[in-house]
Amino acid sequence: MKRVIAIGFIGAALFFPSGGSSPSGNTFVLNEFTIIPPAKALHAGNVLVTANNVGQEVHELVIVRAASADALPMTADGSVDESKLRGSDKVGVIDDVAAHWHTSARFDLTAGTYVAFCNLVDSATGSNTFMTAGSGTPSSQGHVHFARGMHVTFTVS
């Protein structure tokens, strides 16, 4: 199983799947292979966060308290080793946002520096070929999304 699934995230947020209206507020824009953080600074508290996937592939939004992406523990394939994160650093995840879809969830954020990233790993061959959402056809490319650049640092004040 090459895909990394966030297991054991404590305090996982309530999910409010949505897709019809335009995302607003604290929106992270996901694409191949970038994450653009919200234009406005995030304020500490119980924060509604939206992952807006404008790309062609499934992405996810993992939020971890860390000084930078370089500070995160890595696996050999270039994805983040989520099992080595301290529990207190794990904020939560919005899993598997389909292409051209957005999903929101609430996270408890205290002031500090965070890294938002996509930790999906998909392969172009084999039984774990990642399916392009909605198309029913396998993705033609294999990617370690984090290694391709799907991470960004942001601050909460």
Binding piece for Cu ion, criterion CB under 5 A, among 56-64, 72-80, 94-102, 130-138:
56-64
**Residue 118 makes contact with Cu ion by CB under 5 A:** yes
Q: Which is nearer to Cu ion, 77 or 108 (CB)?
A: 77
Q: Which of 65, 90, 102, 145 binds Cu ion (CB under 5 A)?
A: 145
Question: For residues 85 and 118, which CB has a smaller minimum distance to Cu ion in the complex?
Answer: 118
Closer by beta carbon to Cu ion, 63 or else 120: 120
State how beta strands 112-117 and 151-156 pair: antiparallel
In this structure, are residues 79 and 144 in contact, taking their beta carbons and an 8 Å threshold? yes
Q: Which amino acid is at 116?
A: A
Residue 116 near Cu ion by CB under 5 A: no
> Rg for the chain (alpha carbons), in Å?
15
Q: Are 156 and 114 in contact (CB under 8 A)?
A: yes
Are 3 and 122 a contacting pair, CB within 8 Å? yes
Q: How far apart are CB 118 and Cu ion at their closest, in Å? A: 3
> Per-residue DSSP letters for 37-77?
--SSPB-SEEEEEEEEE-SSS-EEEEEEE-S-GGGS-B-TT
Q: How many residues bind Cu ion (CB under 5 A)?
A: 5
Q: Is residue 59 at the binding interface for Cu ion, with CB under 5 A as the rule?
A: yes
120 binds Cu ion per the rule CB under 5 A: yes
Is the Cβ of residue 80 or residue 112 nearer to Cu ion in the bound state? Answer: 80
Binding residues for Cu ion (CB under 5 A)? 59, 118, 120, 145, 150
